[in-house]
Structure formats: structure tokens, C-alpha cells
Copies of this chain bind each other. A is one copy, B any other.
Amino acid sequence: MTQQQPVLALDVGGTKLAAGAVARDGTMRSFCQIETAVGEGPTAVVKRLLDLGDQALTEAHLSIDEVGAVGVGCGGPLDPATGVILGPPGLPGWDAVPLGQLVAERFGDPAYVENDATAAALGEYRWGGWGVEDLVYLTVSTGFGGGIVASGNLFRGAARQGGELGHVVVDWQGRQCGCGARGCAEAYVSGTSIARRATEAVAGSGSTLTGLPITAKAVAEHARAGDRIAREIWDETTAMLGRMVAVLINVCEPELVVLGGGVTRAGAQLLDPVREAALRQAMPPAARACDVVLSHHGDAVGVLGAAAIAYERLEDA
């Protein structure tokens, strides 16, 4: 590929699939998004993902020959070396799905698969406009995870999972997490967990959420409107996220913690209490060196992350 060729980027979320053509400076030349419909199983979902990739190329007026590589972000665990997906909790049935190979076969280009939140951390570093060399990115989405950039390099770790940030324990006596442990951050901080805890709490409570389809978005809205139960769930969520961010500030001493993902659409209702709690609870020198902010990338954060991975791996190749 030449330095000028754009990449195709694919983002496999538990709720949404997204695709886009992304130029080296982070400009999105196209962006398409559809529902994942995870219940259809991996074969059908992967087919629609690949079709969405074609659509993103068409919308960008690109033929596949004009693209240098395909970057793919997906929930982990997965093997970034082989591109095989290893049964992520948010994608039931995706055991040993050779996603990298399927993407490479369809597009005839090298395909680079990475954990979606790890990828998004690199996207925020490259194109977030933050001007920092050390950041932690956390995605509060269907699931919860994150990635670390240290001294301008994406951190991958000995297990190549880029940090299991969703499974940092915030309350060892707390809720059972899907991973089997107790009190992981993800047991409190994710759209799925917010909706589940609200559903449990609403039963017989007289909450204004009673009888409604309970989503993280509904919990945020009803909390804003003053519903006590919704507010308790929201406050617990931000408190646990604040604690977890404080742990990360102490361990990683980043210049910035960037929050993204669908639940961050709540804006200041999420950011303000998390930022306050995290910077208060972290050790003062580490807290003073750091800030907590929201990503500006909105729904495109996953596609930009996947694109950043494609460029990074091409540079290393």
C-alpha cells in the first residue's frame, strides 16, 4: 500500500455493527451502522458485517483495490495474532470464529483484528486531538472494557489482551460478574449491567420505570427526572466507575482517561460524578497529572479504533 491509501475499518459490537473507510489523518470517508442482531449467530452476523464493509467502500467511492488493509475491532477474548474470536461474553456462540480470515478472504487485503476497546484507545491517541502520550480509554457500552496507550504505544501485555480492564475488581464482596469473579467493574459499569440492576430494583418499587423496557438510556433519563430507583442505580454505576478510574490513575498514571461508548451519551450526567470521584480518590500527584474526559468520536469510536489498528500494523509490517 502507499502511505496515501485509506483503510477499511469494521467494528463488531454487541448491539451495533459499524464500518467505515478512514484516511490516514483520521478523516472518515464513510460510516455505516446496523443492528448486530446477535441472536442470529456468527455466520449471519459476519455476512452482514462484510456486506456493511462493501457498503462503506461504495459510499466512499472506493474500490477494494484502493484500500490498503482492513482493521477489525471486536469484543474479546480474541487472538490478535490469528484473528480468531474466542467466545466473548457479549457475542454468545462466537467460539473460535476465524474473523480475521473471513475478512481477509472477502476483501483480499490483510485483516488485523484487535479487541475493540484496545483498538479504540489507539484511535483516541491518534485522532482524539488530545495531544497526550499516555492515556487510558474506557468504553461504557453493551459491555465495559478499555485500553492503555503508554508513551505513545498501545499496551498489549504478556497475554496480548491489552489489559482486562473490565475485570478490575471494585467490590470483592459485590455482584457476581459474567466472568465468574465477584465485583468486577463490568458487573456494575455497562449498559447491560445498568439495565439488569434496574430491572431487579424496579420490581414492586413504584419506580417510574415500572412496566417500561428498561435500558441504560431509560435509567439515565428517569434518574435525571428524579426517579429514586433510577437515581440509585445511576449513582452506584458512577461511583463504581469512579473507583475503578481511581485505581487506573494510581496504576497507570495517565495524562488522560477518555470515556466513550453508548452509555456516555448521558454526557455530564455520567462524566461529572465519575471525574469528581476518580480525581478525589486517586493519589494527589497522580490525580493532578490527569484529567477525565468524554470522547468526541461518538458512535464512530469503534471504527476509528479499528482503522488505527490497521495503520499501526501496516507500519509495523
Interface residues of A, Cβ cutoff 8 Å to B = 77, 132, 134, 148, 150-151, 153, 155-165, 167-173, 179, 181, 243, 246-248, 250-255, 281-283, 285-286, 288-290
Question: Which secondary structure dominates chain A's binding surface?
Answer: loop
**Chain B residues near A281 (CB-CB < 8 A):** 169, 181
A158's partner among B160, B179, B251, B289 (CB-CB below 8 A) is: B289
In the complex the two chains form, is A163's CB within 8 Å of B248's CB? no
In the complex the two chains form, is A286's CB within 8 Å of B159's CB? yes
- Given known pairs A150-B150, A171-B172, A281-B181, the reply for A159 and B251 (CB within 8 Å) is no
The minimal Cβ–Cβ distance linking A168 to chain B, given in whole angstroms, is 5
In the complex the two chains form, is B250's CB within 8 Å of A285's CB? no
A285's partner among B159, B181, B251, B289 (CB-CB below 8 A) is: B159
| Count of this chain's copies in the oligomeric assembly | 2
**Chain B residues near A168 (CB-CB < 8 A):** 247, 250-251
Greatest chain B CB density within 10 A among A160, A243, A247, A252 is at A247
What are 5 A-B residue pairs whose CB atoms fall within 8 Å in the complex? A132-B158, A151-B153, A157-B286, A163-B250, A164-B282
Chain B: CB-nearest residue to A248: B251
A-B contact sample (11 more), CB < 8 A, given A164-B251, A181-B281, A251-B251: A77-B283, A77-B285, A132-B158, A150-B155, A159-B289, A162-B253, A164-B282, A167-B283, A168-B251, A170-B172, A247-B251
The minimal Cβ–Cβ distance linking A273 to chain B, given in whole angstroms, is 15
The minimal Cβ–Cβ distance linking A134 to chain B, given in whole angstroms, is 5
In the complex the two chains form, is B243's CB within 8 Å of A161's CB? no
The minimal Cβ–Cβ distance linking A91 to chain B, given in whole angstroms, is 16
**Chain B residues near A255 (CB-CB < 8 A):** 158
Chain B: CB-nearest residue to A163: B251
Chain B: CB-nearest residue to A247: B168
The minimal Cβ–Cβ distance linking A38 to chain B, given in whole angstroms, is 22
The minimal Cβ–Cβ distance linking A179 to chain B, given in whole angstroms, is 6
- Given known pairs A243-B172, A246-B169, the reply for A283 and B251 (CB within 8 Å) is no
Greatest chain B CB density within 10 A among A162, A165, A289 is at A289
Chain B: CB-nearest residue to A134: B158
Q: A165–B286 Cα gap in the complex (Å)? A: 11
Chain B: CB-nearest residue to A249: B164
Greatest chain B CB density within 10 A among A132, A156, A161, A167 is at A167
Chain B: CB-nearest residue to A239: B172
Q: A222–B255 Cα gap in the complex (Å)? A: 45
Q: A283–B159 Cα gap in the complex (Å)? A: 10
Q: A100–B63 Cα gap in the complex (Å)? A: 62
